[in-house]
Amino acid sequence: MNFFFKISIDQAKTKYISGWCFYRFDRLKKVDLELCVDKKVIAETTAEIFREDLQVLGIHPTGECGFELLFDHQSVTATASYLEIKPKYSKIPIAKIATDGFAVRKPLRVKQLLRSLLSQSSIIFIHIPKTAGTSSIFLLNRSCSRMGMWHMQSL
C-alpha cells in the first residue's frame, strides 16, 4: 500500500464505498481518488466531504477528507476478485477491497511495499542522527536484503 496517505474504509457495499483519506505530510491538500479494477478506472472522486467526527477527534484539522464512490457492481465482480483505491496519477494503491463480500483486505507488509516501490523507482535514504535512522536502516536491510540496498556510513 501507499504510506504517503492515511485511509479508512467506513462502508463497502455492492455499489458504494465510503470513508476518509488524506495526505500524511500535507493534511490540507485534497486527495483525488480513483477506484480501479484490473488497472481500469471505474469511479473517481475527491476526498473533501466534511467529517465532523474526524475534526473533533483531531484526526484531520478541517474534517474535509471524506469520500464516496459509486460504481456498477455487476461489471466489477465479473472481471476481478478485488478493487483498488488509489490516488489519481499513481500506480500504488492505498487500499484493496475484495469483491466477494466486500471485506477490506489486510494491508501489504513493509517488505511487499518496499518491493513495489523499488520495482518502480529508486529510494535514497539519508540518516540524520537521533531520528531513528539506525532502526530504519535495520528494517530496510532486513526487508530488502536482495534488492540492491547499500548503507554508507559517511562520504
R_g (Cα) of the chain, nearest Å? 18
Q: Where are the domains of the chain?
A: 5-98, 110-143
Give the length of the chain: 155
Indicate if the alpha-carbon torsion angle 72, 78, 82, 84 is positive or negative: negative
Cβ neighbourhood burial of 153 (10 Å; 0-12, 13-18, 19+): exposed
> Within 10 Å of residue 132's Cβ, how many Cβ atoms?
11
Burial of 14 (0-12, 13-18, 19+ CB in 10 A): middle
pLDDT tens profile 120-131: 555 555 555 666
The predicted structure's pLDDT at residue 4: 86
Sheet holding 16-23, edge to edge: 5-12, 16-23, 64-70, 49-50
pLDDT tens digits for range 15-28: 889 999 999 889 99
What integer is the mean pLDDT of 22-44? 90
Share of the chain above pLDDT 70, in %: 58
